């Protein structure tokens, strides 16, 4: 997954401060396999914007939704599958599939918001 936002730039103390989490919590989530930060030659952890987004989702799922770590793992896997489906849907919409694609896109977006991995769409009636 090397794309925009994937360049590891934040050391653990900065990442923890940005996320308002303790560095030990970041280490715990790494042990659980939720993230795999890059490492410098001196073995310092480096976090990318993508890592931070994933950690924000984990924080939301634990703190706001009350999930345990097994539940978080399941949601992260589901989120990855939904993102893959979103990408395929975007390819289809480029081929002009119309209102059905728009309905599916809206439904996927609502699921991503529920999982803490997306932003709510603006209400089109406003």
Q: State the residue range of the domain holding 108.
A: 69-126
Q: Are residues 35 and 82 in the same domain?
A: no
How many structural domains does the chain have? 2
CATH number at residue 16: 1.10.1660.10
Q: How far is CA 40 from each of CA 9, 55, 125, rounded to the nearest angstrom?
A: 10, 20, 49
CA atoms in the 13 A half-sphere facing the CB of 61: 27
Q: Are residues 1 and 50 in the same domain?
A: yes
Beta bridge partners, 10, equal 47
Q: Are residues 74 and 38 in the same domain?
A: no
Tens of pLDDT along 77-99? 999 988 888 888 887 777 766 67
Tens of pLDDT along 23-56? 999 999 999 999 999 999 999 999 999 999 999 9
Tens of pLDDT along 57-81? 999 999 999 999 999 999 999 999 8
Categorize the per-residue pLDDT at 120 as very low, low, confident or very high, splitting at 50, 70 and 90.
confident
Categorize the per-residue pLDDT at 103 as very low, low, confident or very high, splitting at 50, 70 and 90.
confident
Q: Are residues 54 and 78 in the same domain?
A: no
Q: What is the CA radius of gyration of the chain?
A: 17
Q: Are residues 37 and 5 in the same domain?
A: yes
Helix, strand or coil for residue 66? Answer: coil
């Amino acid at each position: 997954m090397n794309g925009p936002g994937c360049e590891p730039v934040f050391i653990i103390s900065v990442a923890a401060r940005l996320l308002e989490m303790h560095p030990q919590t970041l280490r715990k989530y790494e042990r659980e396999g939720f993230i795999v930060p890059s490492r410098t030659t001196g073995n310092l952890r480096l976090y990318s914007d993508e890592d931070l987004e994933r950690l924000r989702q984990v924080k939301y799922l634990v703190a706001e939704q009350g999930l345990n770590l097994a539940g978080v793992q399941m949601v992260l896997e589901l989120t990855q599958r939904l993102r893959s489906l979103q990408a395929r849907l975007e390819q289809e919409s480029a081929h002009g599939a119309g209102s059905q694609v728009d309905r599916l896109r809206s439904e996927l977006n609502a699921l991503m918001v529920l999982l803490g991995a997306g932003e709510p769409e603006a209400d089109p009636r406003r």
